[in-house]
Amino acid sequence: MEFTQRVLNAYAQIDDRRLRAIVAGLIKHLLAYVNEIRPTDQEFEFAWDYMGRMAAKTGPERNEFLLLADVLGVSQLVESLNHDEPGTPVGFALVGPFLRANAPFRGRGAADMSDDTPGARVRITGKVYDFHTKAPIEGAILDTWQAASNGLYENQDENQPDYNLRGRYKSDRDGTFDLVALMPTAYPVPTDGPVGELLRAAKRPPNRPAHIHFIVAAPGYETLVTQVFVKGDKDIEADVVFTGDEKMLGDFKRDGDRFSLIYDFPLRRGVSTMPKAPIPA
Ligand code: BEZ
Ligand code: FE
């Protein structure tokens, strides 16, 4: 019997249909890949050692496997396959490794950061609405997170207060929300682990273009996981995790010593879910 078929047969008794298909697909493509690449013994040793080093970098505050999926385009492809629909004005984006559970609820108009956080402010206002009926959605939760202007999320930086630049806001009866965030700046993904090694080998700059993350959720609606980038930013094309696109551009306007942005979030009817937060509370 052909070798691949022998391996497939060994996993044919998995009861759950979906799991059986997932494992069979993995075996088929993995063995086809090995047949194509024909790794040497030393290359195979490098591969399992690389995975061991990824595991060593992984813990409650960091997941090197998720970061690898991000820089290889896997995470954004999964997001697109599950959620992209032609015609919707706002795109879906990967969650990334920096979503933290239980961000504090902040009041209408409040800032997501401490007063002494360096950098320009942006007031973001807009509306959460039903994409099909255009009706406003009251009580939607907007969970937002962003990096500081030193390029670090609060969990990476002992000089930032707990949950700095993170917050949950609620839409009002007319679907509107109002919050103050930091004008986003570009930052590099962590490169001190095996993923950094890969990026250097590929001569890929590790940068994420300036963005703010949003998860917008309401009962009876498909949860929108997205990011807002800065319209006109030349670095969006080179996003190290292949996320930035024309359906996620915010028209940030200068407004005295700060900025303002009007940005609406359309939701489609569906099942309300919450992504697993890579960083615990
Ligand atoms: C982020 O935007 O937070 C992010 C996404 C993917 C990899 C690293 C960081
Ligand atoms: Fe980010």
First to last CA, the chain: 51
pLDDT bin (cut points 50, 70, 90) of residue 60 is confident
Assess contact for 253 and 260: CB atoms under 8 A.
Answer: yes
Contact call for residues 177 and 168 (beta carbons, < 8 A) = no
Query: With 80 as the cut, is the pLDDT of residue 53 above it?
Result: yes
- Reported as a single tens digit per residue, the pLDDT across 77-129 is 999 999 999 889 999 999 999 999 999 999 999 999 999 999 999 999 999 99
Of ligand 1's atoms, which has the minimum distance to the CA of residue 67?
A: 7
Q: Which atom of ligand 1 is nearest to the CA of 189?
A: 8
For atom 6 of ligand 1, the residue with the nearest CA is 96
For 31, counting Cβ atoms within 10 Å of its Cβ (0-12 exposed, 13-18 middle, 19+ buried), the class is middle
Listed by start position, the domains of the chain span 2-38, 68-267
Q: What is the CA radius of gyration of the chain?
A: 21
User: Which ligand lies nearest the alpha carbon of 207?
Assistant: 1
Whose structure tokens read 């047949």? Answer: 35
8 closest CA partner among 21, 27, 33, 36: 27
For 164-212, write each residue's pLDDT tens digit.
Answer: 999 999 999 999 999 999 999 999 999 999 999 999 999 999 999 999 9
Class of CATH domain 68-267 = mainly beta
What is the CA 97 to chain-centroid distance, rounded?
Answer: 7
Residue whose CA is at the smallest distance from ligand 1 atom 8 = 189
pLDDT on residue 270: 96
CA–centroid distance, 135 to ligand 1, in Å, is 32
Q: Provide, rounded to the nearest whole percent, the portion of the chain with pLDDT above 90.
A: 96
Check residue 61 and give its pLDDT.
84
Q: In sequence order, what are the beta bridge partners of 269? A: 221
Distance, in Å, from the CA atom of 108 to the CA atom of 9, rounded to the nearest integer, reads 58
Residues facing 170 on adjacent strands: 141
Tokens, residue 264: 């609406």
Ligand nearest to the CA of 190: 1
Rounded mean pLDDT, 232-251: 95
Q: Which residue CA neighbors atom 7 of ligand 1 most closely? A: 96
- Decide: 98 in ligand 1 pocket, CB within 6 A: yes
Distance 137 CA to ligand 1 centre (A): 28
Confidence of residue 225 (pLDDT cuts 50, 70, 90): very high
What pLDDT is attached to residue 11?
98
The answer to whether residue 1 scores a pLDDT higher than 80 is: no
